[in-house]
Chain A
């Protein structure tokens, strides 16, 4: 065993340099050269300042905006330095009372929508930073958003259709829409009614 320790130490050091420094730093160099926007977090600028990342959910509470899914990241949600899920099991009374409270609040926010609550609307996501909502969720919210936007619900639905993402290659994943992207589009093309 003892004579194995020397190669063990040397090979650990060699591969620490190769796979722990050269590899990630080389990938960083290539990534910064080839995909600088993505490599730095797909940050979004508006009116000359950085307002967030296209990939990271931020909270929206005003009625004229589409709202993201509830977040369990950090103690107040939407903490992009503390990603995570609720980890509540299906029989946990805490989940039952949260869902009951959030379902009532969601119905009160979207009084003109009468159908089932879309599956993503009041469940927390895995990361707590899910930047997207389902199309059904957006359509349900469009009644509320429409009453606060010039052009009304028709205009909002048209913009939703423009921002909506289909399954990748028509097959992979789920149809959805990015909340920040959609809200920026609304501010640009259908300003809020004051």
Chain B
């Protein structure tokens, strides 16, 4: 680990911190429906959308209505996305002539579930599978809307704490529209153009055939990449235009675009801690979450960077340099790009799995055992380290509820958070959300590892799941564990050696994505509804302060201990035993 490496990490963190207050303030104003500098341009458009869709801007919803709207929206938009993929042969912007034969029904289901749930897991090579029309009017749209929906849920939960004695938590359609129009769209336009200036492509051309300098034929993929790339990061989506995702030079051509893309992942989630603080009228509460997230982020970066820089015995045995120098990065460069080296690959891997982004600029499957454990464990912690747009905040608030509950148990008092008594219903809902995540990962990964599919069977033509693996032994098990972890956490990154494009994997992973998204959101909306109905209790001498270092420590402890206790057995069968064997 070099001084330059530390400096790059510090610059990234400084930028995130600097934007937290101004962007957090903007998001709070937008989501509360107050005027911003964007209102003169976007206000008329916003009202037009409400008129077309028959939405009443001031019509507040009970949490059950809010949840029903979100489910209806996800169902309808998911079906449309499925249909669009299957019908791509009849649709425009399709220079390669791709059709339904390229997208089987189970793959189209998986992909629709993936993009509706903000997961963006891809079990196919996009540049050979989906037309420009599907990439734009299908995937790009869901990049916006699934992020805005997550933002809406977070706002509903925060309103639950901020309001008292009311039955409503906001309006889903209004939250969805405002989040997309005022936050995601302007930042995406800006981001897309900056990315393009650096070399990210943006065109509708057919693929370019060239003859290389040595005379070989090469075909270069093209497409409208920059517009999707920007929202892919800002919406913590992570689905690549190309199979290589943000490692592809057309998605992420320079160290500058790499910094920009990492910043765009954390930008909104970090700002939301401040938005939260403003909405509950105590910004210190937001900074406490920010501090807990920072601790967990830094621990991940440190561990991942350490192990990747150390390299692996097989590399060293072949005479490859492991020490970084001024002219080469050293370490484990398998699956990593020269321009990013070790530092930016490890940092990106940590950031993308802290958040529920899942974009990758290096291939986690080829990481060292413990370097690869970091992204896996990050997702298993619930992606609450800044996290996905909205999802990170509501996930961390779920842990905050558990933290004050545990603190309450220790001192024998009814726990309070932000002036609201945390009672049976809130704790039950938080536990439910937590158990859904853990059980869907472990059950599905376990079952998949042992089902004896016959060779040539419909569900998995290759035979038992071991035949789909890219690597033998413990690492192969890690591939399966990572896949279901990524799906349940709605992350979307992968240990990419696993061939997950079979009916079993497509369907089961699709179901796990839906479980991981909606069975987490519904309990949390229920908690929001219950909290909104409660009265604020005044701060007393017995109130546990939730803005100080003690609370931050407790919160970090709860996140890590819950994650470690739940997943340690599974992790010891995968990355840990692999580390011991090498």
CB within 8 Å of B: which residues of A?
A: 1, 4-12, 14-16, 18-21, 23-28, 30-32, 34-35, 38-43, 46, 49-56, 58-62, 65, 69, 73, 78-93, 95-96, 99-100, 103, 107, 115-137, 139, 167-169, 171-176, 180, 183-184, 187
Contacts and interface: CB of A to CB of B under 8 A. Distances in A.
Contacts of A183: 213
Given A12-B76, A20-B141, A81-B128, 15 more contacts: A24-B224, A40-B201, A51-B212, A56-B220, A87-B496, A88-B365, A88-B470, A89-B365, A89-B475, A119-B321, A123-B315, A135-B327, A171-B8, A171-B11, A180-B213
B202 interface: yes
B72 A8 contact: yes
Contact of B140 (A4, A23, A79, A119): A23
B211 A136 contact: no
B280 interface: no
B127 interface: yes
A105 to B, nearest CB: 12
A10 B11 CA distance: 43
Closest 9 CB pairs of A and B: A173-B255, A126-B247, A20-B137, A87-B497, A83-B244, A136-B328, A4-B72, A116-B321, A127-B244
B198 to A, nearest CB: 7
A16 B141 contact: yes
Contacts of A173: 254-256, 258, 339-341, 344
B214 A61 contact: yes
A81 B126 CA distance: 10
B203 A123 contact: no
Nearest to A100: B318
Interface in B154-195: 173, 176-177, 180, 185, 188-189, 192-193
A25 B228 CA distance: 11
A190 to B, nearest CB: 15
B164 to A, nearest CB: 27
B368 interface: yes
A31 to B, nearest CB: 4
Contacts of A95: 314, 334, 366
Contacts, number: 402
A41 B338 contact: no
A99 B214 contact: no
A159 to B, nearest CB: 15
A85 B366 contact: yes
A150 to B, nearest CB: 18
Interface stretch (B46-54, B413-421, B518-526): B46-54
A10 B49 CA distance: 9
A100 B207 CA distance: 36
B540 interface: no
B579 to A, nearest CB: 9
Given A15-B144, A118-B321, A46 B213 contact: yes
Nearest to A129: B249
B128 A87 contact: no
Contacts of A89: 365-366, 470-471, 475, 478, 497, 578
Given A129-B248, A176-B339, A43 B197 contact: no
A41 B213 CA distance: 17
A194 to B, nearest CB: 16
B193 A30 contact: yes
30 contacts: A4-B68, A10-B52, A11-B73, A18-B185, A23-B189, A28-B203, A38-B197, A40-B201, A40-B222, A41-B203, A41-B222, A50-B210, A55-B199, A56-B218, A59-B212, A81-B207, A82-B125, A83-B243, A86-B363, A87-B470, A89-B478, A91-B471, A122-B318, A123-B336, A125-B336, A126-B336, A167-B255, A172-B256, A174-B338, A176-B338
B220 A7 contact: no
B220 A52 contact: yes
B58 interface: no
B507 interface: no
B271 interface: no
Interface in B449-492: 470-475, 478
A179 B581 CA distance: 37
Contacts of A7: 53-55, 69, 72-73, 173
Nearest to B247: A126
B44 interface: no
Contacts of A107: 319
Given A31-B226, A39-B203, A130-B249, A52 B256 contact: no
B52 A31 contact: no
B92 to A, nearest CB: 10
Q: Which of B80, B141, B144, B311 has the most CB of A within 10 A?
A: B141
A131 B252 CA distance: 12
Q: Which of B76, B140, B216, B322 has the most CB of A within 10 A?
A: B76
A102 to B, nearest CB: 8
Nearest to B361: A126
B105 interface: no
B339 A132 contact: yes
Given A84-B244, A85-B335, A174-B341, A38 B173 contact: no
Contacts of A167: 4, 255
Contacts of B152: none
B270 interface: no
Nearest to B64: A1
Contacts of B369: 90-91
Given A91-B578, A95-B334, A15 B180 contact: yes
B328 A135 contact: yes
A136 B197 CA distance: 29
B250 A56 contact: yes
Interface in B1-50: 4, 7-8, 11, 49
A124 B363 CA distance: 10
B329 interface: yes
Contacts of B141: 12, 15-16, 19-20
Contacts of B318: 99-100, 103, 117, 122
B533 interface: no
A61 B345 CA distance: 28
Interface in B393-451: none
B388 interface: no
A148 B297 CA distance: 50
B331 interface: yes
